[in-house]
Amino acid sequence: GAGVSQTPSNKVTEKGKYVELRCDPISGHTALYWYRQSLGQGPEFLIYFQGTGAADDSGLPNDRFFAVRPEGSVSTLKIQRTERGDSAVYLCASSSTRAGGHEQFFGPGTRLTVL
Amino acid sequence: AQSVTQPDIHITVSEGASLELRCNYSYGATPYLFWYVQSPGQGLQLLLKYFSGDTLVQGIKGFEAEFKRSQSSFNLRKPSVHWSDAAEYFCAVGPLGGNMLTFGGGTRLMVKP
Nearest chain B residue (CA) to A95: B99
Measured between beta carbons, the chain B residues lying within 8 angstroms of A29 are: none
Measured between beta carbons, the chain B residues lying within 8 angstroms of A56 are: 99-100
Other beta carbons within 10 angstroms of residue B55's beta carbon come to 12
Residue B95 confidence (pLDDT):
67
What percentage of chain B exceeds 70 in pLDDT?
Answer: 96
User: Is A45 an interface residue toward B (CB < 8 Å)?
Assistant: yes
Greatest pairwise CA separation for chain B in angstroms: 44
- Tens of pLDDT, residue by residue over A39-95, are 989 999 999 999 999 989 999 999 999 999 999 999 999 999 999 999 999 999 998
Domain coordinates in residue numbering, chain B: 3-112
Contact between A103 and B43 using a beta-carbon 8 Å cutoff = no
Local confidence band at A1 (pLDDT 50, 70, 90 cut-offs): low
Local confidence band at A108 (pLDDT 50, 70, 90 cut-offs): very high
**CATH entry, B3-112, from 1.10.260.40, 3.40.630.30, 2.60.40.10, 2.30.30.360:** 2.60.40.10
The alpha carbon torsion through B62, B39, B92, B11 (nearest 10 deg) reads: 70
Q: Distance of CA B99 to CAs A14, A47, A94, B102, B110, Å?
A: 33, 10, 11, 10, 31
CATH of domain A5-114: 2.60.40.10
Mean pLDDT of chain A: 92
Residue B9 confidence (pLDDT):
96
Residue A28 confidence (pLDDT):
87
